[in-house]
Amino acid sequence: MRWVDEFRDPAAARRLADGIATAMTRPWTVMEICGGQTHTIARYGIEDLLPEGLTLLHGPGCPVCVTPLEIIEAARALALRKGVVVCSFGDMLRVPGARGDLLDARSRGGDVRVVLSPLDAVQLAARDPSQHYVLFGVGFETTAPATAMAAELARRLDLDNFSLLTSHVRVPPAMAQLLSDPEGHIDGFLAAGHVCAVEGLADYPAIAARFGAPIVITGFEPVDILDGLLRCVLQLEAGRHEVENQYARAVRADGNPAARATVDAVFEVVDAPWRGLGVVKEGGLAMRSSWARFDARRRFDLTVAPADEPTTCRSGLVLTGRLLPTQCPEFGRGCDPDRPLGAPMVSTEGACAAYYQFRRSAIEERA
Ligand code: SF4
């Protein structure tokens, strides 16, 4: 299949891996920011192809994983209110909050429905005025446009029984925060192609220049990842720190202006909490005051108080690349996809789930 097969070609992957080995004269550490990239790396055994001196760190780019516990608690509290229906993507249902997850809220009588699109939640509300429908909208810049469209549609339909509980986050500020960590040791980044397909490249040159770190935007196939790593290593070896677009088949320099305009109409940039990273300056989006009528936080006067991560789960360390999933004492023991202790084991983009699914040998070695 065109656009897929050539990016999964073993010979091309081998050539790129050889190129990385040839280019390297000293060790380097590169973080891939996105959980989709992490899954490709684990699924295709990319780390096994790389020279020893190239260390990959897995970043926080899993939207479910970085959603703060307190937002999940707020969604649970809403679901348990009489006359309120919480609509969510399916992968959020099993993500633990401070006291349980949305499935648990459902088992206690809460009304939680799975939707495949934010617009489905609007349709549910339009068909059933007897209940209030809350769309639980989380994710990166990639999903924010669809959430914003749901708000716009609800306003156009003049729905009084629809609102949004959102936790959308912005990736470039989180990358800057990771690079500014004095204990961190990231030499370069593979940035997420789908985020850039919406946002474009404008945020990245300043980050690359400020921290002296190359940033290569990649796709999600094995050849994309290896090509991105080769470009990153070549820059590092040459002492360059530029922004390169490896994913030109999907990413334009100016991204998707129409999607950005939709987001800007509904959301404003705010400092925001990320699970694992704490509050990230300008790291999130909040609904503008002009949309208060559709903002569940305002409408239900929700108090979203910070909550602490359970100490058994090291997801904060995993999400910041300071711990590999296999280095967590609970990995494959007290925590697996059937009994997840933390979000990175739940989500299809979580690093712990990726290692559990594709790095079985690591689990067997621990048995
Ligand atoms: S393996 Fe489980 S307990 Fe450990 S960090 Fe990952 S999600 Fe948390």
The tens digit of pLDDT for each residue in 297-347 reads: 999 998 777 777 778 899 999 999 999 999 999 999 999 999 999 889 988
| Per-residue tokens: 193 | 């192609």
| Binding site membership of 323 for ligand 1 (Cβ less than 6 Å) | no
Helix (H, G, I), strand (E, B) or coil at 127: helix
Task: Please name which of 301, 50, 65, 330 lies closest in space to residue 190, comparing C-alpha atoms.
Answer: 50
Neighbour tally for 96: CB within 10 Å = 21
Token representation of residue 331 = 């990995």
CB-ligand 1 contact for 345 (6 Å cutoff): yes
Name the DSSP class of 204.
H
The per-residue pLDDT for range 118-149, each reduced to its tens digit, is 999 999 999 999 999 999 999 999 999 999 99
Report yes or no on 76 lying in a domain: no
Task: Report CA(359)–ligand 1 centroid distance (Å).
Answer: 15
> Ligand 1 in contact with 350 (CB < 6 A)?
no
Contact residues for 277 (Cβ-Cβ < 8 A; gap 6+) = 60, 66, 174, 177, 178, 283, 316, 319, 320
| Per-residue confidence (pLDDT) for residue 259, from 0 to 100 | 98
Answer whether 247 contacts ligand 1 (Cβ < 6 A). Answer: no
* For residue 11, pLDDT beyond 60: yes
Nearest CA, atom 7, ligand 1: 342
| 326 C-alpha to ligand 1 centroid (Å) | 9
Count the Cβ atoms, other than its own, within 10 Å of residue 156. 9
Q: Ligand 1 test: best mutation among 66, 333, 341, 356, most atoms within 8 Å of CB?
A: 341
Residue 344 located in a structural domain = no
Report percent pLDDT > 70 for the chain: 98
User: Do 42 and 359 touch, CB atoms closer than 8 A?
Assistant: yes
Structure tokens at 218: 């990649």
Q: Judge whether 307 lies within some domain.
A: no
Q: Which tokens in the block code for residue 9?
A: 């070609």
Cα distance between residue 282 and residue 292, in whole Å = 20
Ligand 1: which of 318, 327, 346 to mutate, judged by most atoms within 8 Å of the beta carbon? 318
- Asked if 69 and 275 count as a contact pair (C-beta separation under 8 A), the reply is yes
pLDDT for position 364 = 62
- At residue 64, the pLDDT reads 87
Quick check: 367 pLDDT over 80?
A: no
In short, whether 170's Cβ falls inside 6 Å of ligand 1 is no
Per-residue pLDDT reduced to its tens digit, 243-282 = 999 999 999 999 999 999 999 999 999 999 998 899 999 9
**CA-328 nearest atom, ligand 1:** 4
Give the distance (Å) from ligand 1 centre to CA of residue 312: 8
Contact 223, 9 (CB under 8 A): yes
Residue 180: inside a domain:
yes
Q: How confident is the prediction for the chain on average, in pLDDT? A: 94
pLDDT band of 35, cuts 50, 70, 90? very high
Residue 341, ligand 1, Cβ within 6 A: yes
What distance in Å separates the CA atoms of residue 177 and residue 280, rounded to the nearest whole number? Answer: 7
Q: How many structural domains does the chain have?
A: 1
Q: Is residue 42 part of a domain?
A: yes
User: What CATH number did the domain enclosing 235 receive?
Assistant: 3.40.50.11750
Among 178-187, 204-213, 243-252, name the one with the lowest average pLDDT: 178-187
For the CA atoms of 5, 7, 13, 15, the dihedral, rounded to the nearest 10 degrees, stands at 100
Q: In angstroms, what is the span from residue 341 Cα to ligand 1's centroid?
A: 6
Which tokens hold the place of 147?
A: 């959430």
Report pLDDT for 2.
73
Question: What average pLDDT does the segment 38-45 reach?
Answer: 94
Q: Which amino acid is at 29?
A: T
Atom of ligand 1 nearest to the CA of 344: 7
Is 232 part of a structural domain of the chain? Answer: yes
Which atom of ligand 1 is the closest one to the Cα of 335?
A: 2
Q: Answer yes or no: is 136 within a domain.
A: no
C-beta 231 within 6 A of ligand 1? no
| pTM score, whole prediction | 0.93
**Token pair in block for residue 366:** 């621990």
Do the domain assignments include residue 254? no
Check pLDDT > 90 for residue 63: no
**What does the pLDDT average to over 7-32?**
96
Q: In which domain, by residue range, is 15 found?
A: 5-60+172-245
